[in-house]
């Protein structure tokens, strides 16, 4: 069977492509402005990529078109599919019907930390010998791919609240029929499709409504929004993390380890290479979820001590003239603040130079601009790329004073950052896109100085 995927280089749809290929399908796909790591990952698997959405692609005559949620009405290929009455389905629906059926699905939901927590959970199950399948919105270093199909009954998935497709405005995660669910956190985001936080809470409520009574919810006790969701109805056993009466972490010791307790009893110690309190909380949630499928906490914690991280999550991209350049996916103010704090914990000295591209749909709308200065406060300098934004970035960052600079030209930004950086500094690049390949440009500029 031949499927052709529209929007194949998105993190989710690229994972769908890999799973379909592993299932024996012939897979082709198209996208615009493709970039690594997804494009190279697909090409390495022998999946043919077509640039753009030319209507002539219907001539490939696939058995089915799988449509990603980045595709909207007006797209020439989608319009041709509709006009010709050709068969199509959304990515989440295809996944549910062809991969997740009869699997024990462990779903990780939340505004932040889904990719890291999913990677941590998949690694724990792998180390326990359970050989899970997975679909993650990033590339775990220990696996080298974002998606994998196995014969194991267990499947770990990053459960996104974003809408499913142009034809299905429910959140993706309602398709997955999870048995074990992590509710990591819940803040306002995706301002292009949700009017307010209450609208997102309703989608999470829909997700909770279809969880089985034989399942488990692992939820963040520090999130009032999640408590509101669960107060609307919960039919599944619930374990809180970040709660002394549930799953909890002790104080961080000088060796960067901390105790882990459940119901007031210490079950082991967490040693994690990932920096930041947010990542320790992610790990705690993963330990709790893994216990539901039979992995003892001690075994889970031993696995986490060997976890290698995730691409684009505080990933070191290189060092030039004793200046270290990192890549991170952070694009929401809460994630930006947590990432800077995590890097600060990791480094022994030197300044942090934050280099930010407000690229997500929410950031492009300027919905979070009031929160942006506070999220960047702990960086010594901030450099923001403001091309194609419809709001006043300079005005928004004015509270940072001379600590913030804004550029509309990528070359000017690279010149400014490389000129300001000095030996021992740490340049933290944050964007949920390719950011014009700024990481390599910065390293080249630093070398040439």
User: Quick check: is 421 in a domain?
Assistant: yes
Last residue of a domain, one of 264, 283, 304: 304
Q: What CA–CA distance (Å, rounded) separates 339 from 355? A: 12
What pLDDT digit, counting tens, does each position of 238-251 carry?
999 999 999 999 98
- The end-to-end CA distance of the chain, in Å, is 54
The pLDDT, as a whole number, for residue 371 is: 86
The pLDDT, as a whole number, for residue 421 is: 94
The pLDDT, as a whole number, for residue 139 is: 84
The pLDDT, as a whole number, for residue 204 is: 95
The pLDDT, as a whole number, for residue 191 is: 65
Whether residues 31 and 148 fall in one domain: no
Strands 147-148 and 154-159, by their bridges, are unpaired
Whether residues 70 and 114 fall in one domain: no
CATH of the domain at 17: 3.40.50.720
The pLDDT, as a whole number, for residue 364 is: 72
Q: What CA–CA distance (Å, rounded) separates 19 from 148? A: 6
User: Quick check: is 96 in a domain?
Assistant: no
Instruction: Find residue 90's DSSP bridge partners.
Output: 67
Whether residues 29 and 121 fall in one domain: no
Total number of domains in the chain: 3
What parts of the chain have a pLDDT lower than 50? none
Whether residues 300 and 360 fall in one domain: no
Query: What single string gives the DSSP state of each residue in 110-175?
Result: SSS-HHHHHHHHHHHHHHTT---EEE-SS-BTTTSSSEE--SSSEEEEEE--SEEETTEEEEGGGG
Whether residues 168 and 208 fall in one domain: yes
User: Quick check: is 309 in a domain?
Assistant: no
* C-alpha radius of gyration, the chain, whole number: 22
CATH of the domain at 354: 3.90.190.20
The pLDDT, as a whole number, for residue 57 is: 97
User: Quick check: is 137 in a domain?
Assistant: yes
User: Quick check: is 115 in a domain?
Assistant: yes
Last residue of a domain, one of 304, 328, 360: 304
Q: What CA–CA distance (Å, rounded) separates 148 from 355? A: 33
Q: Per 3-state DSSP, what percentage of the chain is helix, strand, and coil (rounded to 5)?
A: 35, 25, 40
Whether residues 235 and 326 fall in one domain: no
User: Quick check: is 95 in a domain?
Assistant: no
Whether residues 252 and 165 fall in one domain: yes
Range of the domain at 140: 102-304
User: Quick check: is 310 in a domain?
Assistant: no
User: Quick check: is 31 in a domain?
Assistant: yes
Last residue of a domain, one of 278, 304, 330: 304
Whether residues 297 and 157 fall in one domain: yes
Whether residues 220 and 275 fall in one domain: yes
- 3-class DSSP assignment, residue 205: helix
Q: What CA–CA distance (Å, rounded) separates 244 from 253? A: 18
Burial class, 243, CB count within 10 angstroms (exposed 0-12 / middle 13-18 / buried 19+): middle
User: Which residues are within 8 A (CB) of 320 and not within 5 positions of it... i.e. 6 or more apart?
Assistant: 443, 446, 447
Whether residues 122 and 261 fall in one domain: yes
Q: How far is CA 299 from CA 113, 127, 156, 241, 245, in A?
A: 22, 8, 18, 18, 22
Q: CB of 432 within 8 A of CB of 329?
A: yes
The pLDDT, as a whole number, for residue 129 is: 97
Whether residues 396 and 434 fall in one domain: yes
Q: CB of 397 within 8 A of CB of 333?
A: no
Whether residues 331 and 257 fall in one domain: no
Distance from the Cα of residue 295 to its chain's centroid: 24
* pTM reported for the whole predicted model: 0.82
């Amino acid at each position: 069977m031949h499927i052709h995927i529209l929007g194949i280089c998105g993190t989710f749809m690229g994972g769908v492509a890999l799973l379909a290929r592993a299932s024996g399908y012939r897979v082709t796909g198209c996208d615009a402005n493709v970039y690594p790591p997804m494009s190279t990952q697909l090409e390495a698997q022998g999946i043919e990529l077509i640039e753009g959405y030319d209507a002539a692609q219907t001539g490939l005559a696939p058995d089915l078109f799988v449509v990603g949620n980045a595709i909207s009405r007006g797209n020439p290929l989608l319009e041709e599919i509709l006009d010709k009455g050709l068969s199509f389905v959304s990515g989440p629906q295809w996944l549910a019907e062809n991969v997740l059926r009869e699997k024990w699905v462990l779903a990780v939901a939340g505004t932040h930390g889904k990719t890291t927590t999913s990677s941590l959970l998949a690694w724990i199950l792998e180390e326990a010998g359970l050989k899970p399948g997975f679909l993650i919105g990033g590339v775990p270093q220990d696996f080298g791919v974002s998606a994998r199909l196995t014969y194991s009954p267990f499947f770990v998935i990053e459960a996104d609240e974003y809408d499913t497709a142009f034809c299905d405005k429910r959140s993706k995660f309602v398709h997955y029929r999870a048995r074990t669910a992590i509710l990591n956190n819940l803040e306002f985001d995706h301002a292009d499709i949700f009017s307010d936080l209450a609208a997102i809470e309703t989608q999470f409520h829909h997700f909770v409504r279809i969880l089985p009574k034989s399942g488990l919810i692992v939820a963040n006790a520090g999130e009032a929004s999640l408590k509101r969701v669960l107060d609307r109805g919960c039919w599944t056993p619930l374990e809180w993390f970040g709660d002394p009466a549930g799953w909890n972490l002790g104080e961080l010791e000088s060796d960067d380890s901390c105790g882990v307790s459940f119901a007031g009893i210490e079950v082991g110690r967490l040693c994690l290479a990932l920096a930041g309190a947010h990542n320790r909380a992610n790990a705690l949630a993963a330990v709790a979820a893994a216990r539901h499928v039979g992995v003892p906490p001690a075994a889970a914690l031993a696995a986490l001590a060997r976890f290698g991280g995730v691409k684009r999550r505080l990933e070191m991209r290189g060092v030039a003239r004793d200046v270290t350049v990192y890549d991170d996916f952070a694009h929401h103010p809460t994630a930006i603040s947590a990432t800077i704090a995590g890097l600060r914990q990791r480094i022994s000295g030197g300044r942090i130079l934050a280099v930010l591209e407000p690229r997500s749909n929410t950031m492009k709308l300027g919905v979070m601009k009031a929160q942006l200065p506070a999220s960047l406060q702990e960086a010594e300098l901030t450099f923001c790329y403001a091309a194609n934004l419809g709001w006043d970035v300079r005005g928004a960052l004015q509270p940072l004073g001379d600590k913030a600079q804004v550029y509309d030209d990528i070359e000017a930004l690279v010149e400014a950052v490389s000129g300001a950086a000095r030996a021992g500094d740490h340049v933290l690049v944050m964007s949920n896109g390719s950011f014009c390949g700024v990481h390599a440009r910065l390293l080249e500029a630093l070398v040439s100085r």
